[in-house]
Amino acid sequence: MDKNYFENIILCIKEQFTQQNFIPLHAPVFIGNEKAYVMDTLESTFVSSVGAYVDRFEKMMCDITGAKYAVAIVNGTNALHMAALLAGVKPGDEVISQSLTFIATCNAISYIGAQPVFVDIDRSTLGMSPESLADFLTKNAIIGEDGYSYNKLSGKRIKACVPMHTFGFPCRIDEIAVICDKWNITLIEDAAESIGSYYKRKHTGIYGNIGVFSFNGNKTITCGGGGALITNDQLIAKRAKHLTTQAKVAHPWAFIHDEVGYNYRMPNINAALACAQLEQLDNFVKNKRELAAIYKDKFKKIGANFFSEPADAKSNYWLNVLIMDNLRQRNEFLEFANANNVMSRPAWELMHRLPMFKNAVCADLNNSEWLSDRLVNIPSSVRL
């Protein structure tokens, strides 16, 4: 075991988090208007799905991302489900995604009865590779008479593509958008991890037809549980509001619903927390980027392979990444770090290795497997 090497890494991490005995991967911080805004919802009694903070949160999301419309949703997983429904994904369709992602991406596709298809990722971005996507489509897809792409082998329609900005690092989303456009595939950006991350000066989530965010407790900013969907398409935005509020027809007193809807609206009490957290987004990202800069410098000195943001990208550095030499070293490091009160974890098990997706259509997934064997996340919280 590379004990010296591991000890040096742990020392670098501990130097950044001196107040704690146990250093978590990512802890939330509430140092702004959180208490005041939450108390305000209690005093007003508007804690549920109607209230001023929901509107304010949606407006803030538009200002931050540059999107024309934002819709608050109860969590990121349901926001992804809603995005897939709005993209017109139907049972039996295929949806292209990446194998290195959090399970929620694929669960959302599965809720509709559609199947995920996996293309490879880039080693330089950790996100979907435009080359792998284009290559997969050129080899396997054909545009049908209805104008949609079909998988020649399975006969299934390929309706949507869901790349993910892994750990906050933007993928090459502009190139992916061009490919999706060419094949008439709706682009949904899983930007759950990338609030405050930019690619070529535009916020992540805005390149796709729909972008999705999560505000779960472990994300860069949190409102307990929460999500949002952004779009520039007015029809999609209107339909998102309608479907997430049980498809209720607006009326002063009658309860009439015109289709099967969902109870997916974010409660006002969560939106209050979200507003207070979003106010601090710039400071949080600045703080996290400073930590990443320190890590980069220190790890370079001890010969550790720290993952830096790709060209043209400004990452929120949600979770910092070290790349180990091989699977054995990765596992030994995980044992060592966690035994030394420094929380560290591997990437999620690749989706195509899980029982639900083991028969999924896959491109060559060399980079996904290479990274999955080597990648570890290390503590990345905002430091006070």
Ligand X SMILES: *Cc1c(COP(=O)(O)O)cnc(C)c1O
Residues labelled as active-site residues: 219
Backbone angles phi, psi at 335, to 5 degrees: -60, -50
Distances from the Cα of 266 to the Cαs of 57, 75, 231, 241, 333, in angstroms? 10, 8, 17, 11, 39
Sequence-distant (6+) residues with CB within 8 A of 262 are: 78, 81, 82, 243, 244, 246, 247
Distances from the Cα of 114 to the Cαs of 52, 211, 239, in angstroms? 36, 19, 21
Q: Which residue is nearest to ligand X (CB)?
A: 76
CB 211 within 8 A of CB 229: yes
Sequence-distant (6+) residues with CB within 8 A of 250 are: none
In the complex with ligand X, which residue's Cβ is closer, 80 or 350?
80
Shortest Å, Cβ 127 to ligand X: 10
Triad 349, 126, 169: Cα angle to 5°: 115
Shortest Å, Cβ 78 to ligand X: 7
In the complex with ligand X, which residue's Cβ is closer, 104 or 291?
104
Distances from the Cα of 81 to the Cαs of 85, 107, 109, 112, 188, in angstroms? 6, 8, 7, 8, 11
In the complex with ligand X, which residue's Cβ is closer, 64 or 304?
64
**Size of the chain, expressed as the number of residues it contains:** 384
In the complex with ligand X, which residue's Cβ is closer, 9 or 274?
274
Triad 130, 133, 136: Cα angle to 5°: 145
3-state secondary structure of 283: helix
In the complex with ligand X, which residue's Cβ is closer, 12 or 83?
83
In the complex with ligand X, which residue's Cβ is closer, 211 or 336?
211
In the complex with ligand X, which residue's Cβ is closer, 140 or 270?
270
CA torsion 93-99-100-105 (nearest 10°) is: 20
Triad 376, 188, 152: Cα angle to 5°: 100
Q: Which residues make up the interface to ligand X (CB under 6 A)?
A: 75-77, 80, 101-102, 104-105, 164, 190, 192-193, 214, 216, 227
- Measured CA to CA, the distance from residue 164 to residue 269 in angstroms comes to 28
Shortest Å, Cβ 281 to ligand X: 17
Shortest Å, Cβ 102 to ligand X: 4
Shortest Å, Cβ 366 to ligand X: 21
Distances from the Cα of 37 to the Cαs of 58, 225, 277, in angstroms? 16, 16, 10
